[in-house]
Chain A
Amino acid sequence: MPLDFALIAHQESWRAAADVLAVLRGPGRAPIPDDDLKDLFPWFPPRAVCHIDHRSVLGHSVHGIYIDSFIPPDRLGHEYRAENIGRVRDAAACAIKAGARIVSLGGFASILIEGDSDQLPQKGETVFTTGNTLTVAFVVQGVKKMCALKGRDLSAATLLIVGATGDVGSGCARCLAPLVDRVILNARNIDRLRSLGAELNAGGTAVDITTDLQQLSARADVVICVASLESPSLLLGCLGPNAIICDAGYPKNLSPLGVLEGCTVFFGGLGQSDAGMSFEPDIHRVLHHHPFPNVGQGCLMEGMALALEGRFEPYSRGRGFITPERVQEIEAIAARHGIHLAPLYNEQGSLEEAPCQTEGLVDERQIAGTSRAV
């Protein structure tokens, strides 16, 4: 069977890693003990874990694979960067060898084409996308929807973006800056902050920049957190009452339990497919610990949407190229095939009035603290 797409990702928690291996190990065998899991997992070479069929509401479907790079969930820090780039390159080589026509790079994997240099292996006919444009689309849609659900006027809001100079952060800034009263940009690189600030300011938006996460956070009404924070309390503890917080990082680790009463935390950047996906072996529920069926990270959904559209092109590549026009285009492509913003939820469950009670519903206790991607 020809391979339309491949998704490259990694597990965001040891529990998620254990769940994936438990499925592969089969129902008749005891789970791998935690110590053994942590011993063995980092040694697995990147490879396909399952096959995926993604259907379009138009009636056709595309076939692909999910490749795990087996980056250990506790080795995402900077000190493991070189090692992890090696893993992702190996995973990319797997996708190329498998003949995938388009590859989405989820989580850390996007680093291969986000930086200044193209670190992909010899590609042949395979094209790569970070998938960040559709992630931005879903983050922006989610913010708008949550503001509407809470009766908040986005045009009067001060928007804080944490991790603002990255690909997703800057994309969100470009899309939302014209719609809000003021933008606060936070990141570590002051030069990039100045550059982005100047760009937004030239468009007529009032902009503050800061490398100190706690300095201006109290002013924010709406927060998009693109970076996974090592210490979420540094952000959550500084926010004012009634703030709306979109956790668009990977892994997602912002808990509604850590914020003031009246604040709302929700997971952003997630899409849902109306026509659905099927997995072989069936690790759907393991990869998608969401309280709704057929939900996945926007970055991975982008590759599948482009495959369904027959547009095998490196749609999202490099840092800083995501524009409102590109976001609108990918939204339209995804929507044509029934891929749209997922219902809003957080680690405590649905944030919408009528949660979807369908076959894919997962017990909320199962997702506490461990929502995960594809």
Chain B
Amino acid sequence: MEVVTSPKCLTTSDADAACSTASIWQDVLAQAVTGELVAVLNYTSLAEIRQDPKEVADALEHAESERGHATAFTAEGKKLGIEVPNNVNAKYWKRLRSAFLRQIDARDFIGCLIIQEVMLESFAVASYKRVGQVAPGSLGTTFAAIAAEEEDHIDHAMTILRAARALDVQRFDDKVHELHVEVMGILAQMFAREDGDGHCELCHGSCVKQSLPVVGLSSSELRGASLQHYLRTLDLLGLPGEKTLAWATQLPV
């Protein structure tokens, strides 16, 4: 994984501020870019199991949109003189991708949407929003803008998921729970206070979580905000709040 230790800080004071914390932003951007690339792969896989031309086109459009996000994040890194690495085979991201592929193998469209749109996007939207609030200059603007776009993705999927739930509430909720245990379990480990499983295989040095307060973030805030967004999304789907609360408390810490 390439590490940039001498970012080329050039013009504005915002850029100066970002440059002084470049190694932190490098890790933050690396997670964001990798997440977006995993989303590209997921939507592309989704397109392959759909028959309806419109649904195929939708999935490919989403894939293209996520690719655009990855490009935008990479470009923000370049503005700071940072080469943003990515690694879709990094420990947690690989497990998340594998979980998604199991739904693809089962040709379970709803399962795919639950993972990508409800779980992964909840974490993306909430995290990007927080980063967007503190990141300087165009870096912050880009995170905030992409958070808003990702929210649109969720809105699109909610209609499909609500309709699916209406057909068989128990079956739908059981499916969400099954995926919650696997996927949210991985995300909970990824966002945990400490890396119990060792290096995430994406940060360029030691775990970035301990350094986040330097840029006005904290891992606990990102984890909490993401979990809150996820629970609110499940509320919108109509899942009983007491049930999803219990699920959330049962996640690994």
Contacts and interface: CB of A to CB of B under 8 A. Distances in A.
B224 A42 contact: yes
A191 interface: no
B2 interface: no
B187 to A, nearest CB: 13
A47 to B, nearest CB: 3
A351 interface: no
B190 to A, nearest CB: 14
Contacts of B224: 39-40, 42-43
Contacts of B249: 21, 24-25, 32
A29 B250 contact: yes
Q: What is the predominant secondary structure among interface residues of chain A facing chain B? A: mixed
Contact of B242 (A33, A35, A47): A47
B228 A39 contact: no
Nearest to B245: A47
Contacts of B248: 44
A48 B242 contact: yes
Interface in A35-64: 35-36, 39-40, 42-45, 47-51
B227 interface: yes
A94 B244 CA distance: 14
Interface string A322-338: 00000000000000000
B229 to A, nearest CB: 9
Contacts of A43: 224-225, 227-228
Contacts of B227: 40, 43-44
Interface string B219-233: 010011101100110
Interface string B229-248: 00110010000111011101
Interface string B12-42: 0000000000000000000000000000000
A50 B231 CA distance: 17
B193 A45 contact: no
B160 interface: no
Contact of A44 (B220, B231, B250): B231
B245 A24 contact: yes
Interface-centre pick from B227, B240, B244, B249 (highest chain A CB count, 10 A): B249
B10 interface: no
B253 interface: yes
A26 interface: yes
A44 B220 CA distance: 13
Contacts of B193: 35-36, 39
Interface string B185-225: 00000000100000000000000000000000000100111
Contacts of B235: 45, 47
A232 B71 CA distance: 59
A25 B225 CA distance: 20
Interface in A86-142: 94
A328 B224 CA distance: 46
Contacts of B228: 43-45
B241 A48 contact: yes
Contacts of A281: 246
A21 B220 CA distance: 18
Contacts of A94: 241
A146 to B, nearest CB: 38
A43 B253 CA distance: 15
A25 to B, nearest CB: 5
Contacts of A32: 249, 253
A40 B223 contact: yes
A47 B243 CA distance: 10
A42 B228 CA distance: 9
Given A24-B250, A44-B248, A49-B245, 6 more contacts: A25-B249, A36-B253, A39-B224, A47-B231, A47-B242, A49-B242
Interface of A: 21, 24-26, 29, 32-33, 35-36, 39-40, 42-45, 47-51, 65, 94, 281
9 contacts: A24-B249, A25-B246, A29-B250, A32-B253, A35-B193, A36-B193, A39-B224, A40-B253, A48-B240
